[in-house]
Chains A and B, each alone.
Chain A
C-alpha cells in the first residue's frame, strides 16, 4: 500500500510529531507509515484521513 501522507503534511504544514500527536501515536509510527515499512490499522488510517479532511482512499492507495 502506498500513501501520500508526506505530501498532505506539507499541504497542512504539519511535522511528523504534530501529526503523530493529533492521531495519538508515536512519531516513529508516522515515520514507518511514510516510508512504507508499516501499514496502519483501519482505525489509524481513518484518523489520519480525518486530520487531512479527505477520504481514506485519497491518502492510502493500493499498489
Chain B
C-alpha cells in the first residue's frame, strides 16, 4: 500500500540535485557571509527590520543579497523531495520506517535544541536557531536512509 501524500519516485533524483545545489550555496554563504553582487536583488518584503533597529517595514520593497534565501529554499525543497518521494519498491514497511524516522528526528532535534537552550547563550544561540531551521529535515533524512541501508544489509540470502 502506498500513500498519496508522497511524491512520485522520479522526484527523488531531482530532489538530490536541488539539495546538493542548496548545500553548495549554503557552504559558500557560511564561508563568505556574503553572496556575489549579482544576487543583490530588489525583493518584496512582507516584514523587514534591519540590524540597526530603525523600525520595521511592512509590505515594502528592500534590496537584499538573496544567496542565503536561495540556499535555504533549495535545501528545504530538495530535502523534502528526497525524503518524501516514493522509494522504488515503496510499501507499507518502508512507510513505517519513514514514520519512525520522523519521530526519531523530532526527538533528537528537540533534545539537542533543549540542551542548546540550557548551555548556549547570547548571539551564539543565533547559530543554533539558524541550523535548527534545517536539522529536523536533515536528521530525518539521515535516519530514514540509515534504516533502509540497515534493512538491506541485514537480509540473509534468499532461499526456498
A→B interface (CB under 8 Å): 9-10, 13-17, 24-29, 31-33, 38, 40-41, 43-44
| A26-B93 contact, Cβ under 8 Å, with A32-B151, A41-B1, A43-B1 | yes
Is the CB of B53 closer than 8 A to any CB of chain A? Answer: no
Report chain A residues within 8 Å CB of B152: 28
Interface membership of B69, Cβ < 8 A? no
Closest to B155 in A: A31
Cβ–Cβ < 8 Å partners of B158 in chain A:
15-17, 27
Interface residues on B, range: 10 to 19
Q: Is the Cβ of B92 less than 8 Å from the Cβ of A14?
A: no
Given contacts A27-B155, A41-B1, A43-B1, contact A32 B93 (CB under 8 A): yes
B52 interface residue, CB < 8 Å from A?
no
Chain A CB within 8 A of B4 CB: no
Which B residues are CB-close (under 8 A) to A15?
158-160
Pick from B93, B156, B160: contact of A10, CB below 8 A: B160
Contact of B94 with A by CB under 8 A: yes
A16's nearest neighbour on chain B, judged by CB, is B158
Question: Could you say which residues of chain A place their CB within 8 Å of the CB of B93?
Answer: 25-26, 28-29, 32-33, 38
